[in-house]
Structure 1
Amino acid sequence: MAPHFETVKSFADVKIIGDGVDTQDFLEASDGLVKMFDLLGSGVFGFVQTDIRNNITGVKERYKSHSFTSKTLENLVEGEAGEANRHGTACLVRLVRGLAFTCQALQNMQADRSSELHVCFKRSYDAVLKHHHSFVVRSVVSVAIRAVPRRNDFYDRIAEGGSVEKLDTELARWLQGLEKIVKRMSTFLRDGGHGRV
């Protein structure tokens, strides 16, 4: 059986067309990310998984109930803009925020091969999420980040017996695609007054 990373939709393969980021592709790639964290076991990424999973659900609900007018993430947000309850948009803002955190942490890991994973995730947390959280949440996250696997364990679990070198190459491609989407959506959401990532 092929390793998980070779079977899920990569963010590098999410279609970006004239109107924006393809909603269905984006949701499929986001689901793949959550399942990747499941491979690590023990719930050390529970705070990330739960947040991302809940926000994927919120965006999916909006997409399913308004699929004709939500082909792209941008369409989904614009279609909801005039409504009193903008739950799908709020979930999308938080989802993009969680993806930005994950993307930056894994990019840190690839750029600084001498740092342990918890250091990479701490840097990303401080840059992306810390200012959104209360002191209590920051304390809980700090403990959770210290419990992430060691760098080698992370790669071994995600590779699932496949080539770590191939995983590293595909991860770099995957992260480039994710970074492009995060930047695009962050700008769109901010400039449109829909929320700040």
Structure 2
Amino acid sequence: MASPFERVITRSYVDVDTSNGIHTEQFLEATHGLINMFDLFGSSAFSVVQNDMRNNVKKIRTWFVNDTKANDTLEKLMANESHLKKRQATEAVVWLKRGLDFTAQSLIHSLDNPKDELSVSFIKAYDATLRPFHSFILAMNACPWRKDFYANIGIEDEKSIQLMREWLDGLFKIIDKLNREFEQYPAYLRH
């Protein structure tokens, strides 16, 4: 029987084609699963992050569906929007990448430090990823307990932990690819 994590993650980041750029539709599908994973946390503490990610996915999808062939990768999508004064999809990619990096850093820290409660992992990840960009403070007191969190998402044995690590590795590869794109085209980071 599939765990809640496996049911909600309908496409793993491992399965997002990045051979010719980050496949837009597959990336959005994988990210949709991550956003839905927040529902399994058993806490409303991250509803602001979840809603922000949803809005960014919506902006990217809106630009993508205007011309699915021309925008089949995130890199092409941002390049195709670069001539516009207001680049909503590009801005959404930037902020979504930041939110994904926060989530990935939180989860990998939690997996690598099994004695830490989730609030410690989330604070460390926030400091490393989001703090430079805004002063929003997450409600860490509302963070679920570690044991409850992992029970809710069904990550409780070595096999499921390995599955989550592989998923995170795929996500980190996408984040790294986006970071390289932003280094190559720093104008994408200016809104």
Q: Which residue of 2 aligns with 1:148?
A: 143
Q: Which amino acid aligns with 2:177?
A: R
How much identity, in percent, do the aligned residues show?
38
Would you say 1:3 and 2:3 are equivalent positions?
yes
Number of aligned residue pairs = 187
On the 8 A contact 2:106/2:124 being kept in 1, the answer is yes
Give deviations 1:56-97, integer Å, cap 9, x for gaps.
111111111121211111010011111222100000100000
Task: Provide the rounded CA distance (Å) in 1 between the counterparts of 2:151 and 2:35.
Answer: 17
Determine the structure 2 residue equivalent to 1:53: 54
The corresponding residue for 2:153 is: 158
User: Structure 2, unaligned stretches of length 5 or more?
Assistant: none
Q: Deviations over 1:167-197 (max 9, x none)?
A: 211100000000010011012023202118x
Aligned-residue CA RMSD (Å): 1.5
Stretches of 4+ aligned residues off by more than 6 angstroms: none
1:31-65 C-alpha deviation (Å, 9 max, x unpaired) = 00011111123312112201111111111111111
Partner of 1:189 in structure 2?
182
Q: Which aligned pairs between 1:35-74 and structure 2 lie closer than 5 A?
A: 35-74=36-75
Q: Secondary structure, in 3 states, of the residue corresponding to 2:161?
A: helix
Match of 1:17 in 2: 19
Note if contact 1:12-1:177 (Cα within 8 Å) is conserved in structure 2.
Answer: yes
Q: Secondary structure at the match of 1:67?
A: coil
Letter in 1 for 2:149: F
The TM-score, its normalising length taken from structure 1, stands at: 0.89
Paired with 2:88 and 2:145, the residues of 1 have a C-alpha distance of 37
Match of 2:79 in 1: 78
Deviation at 1:10, TM superposition (A): 0.8
Contact map agreement 2:44 2:142 (CA 8 A) in 1: no
Counterpart residue type for residue 179 of structure 2: S
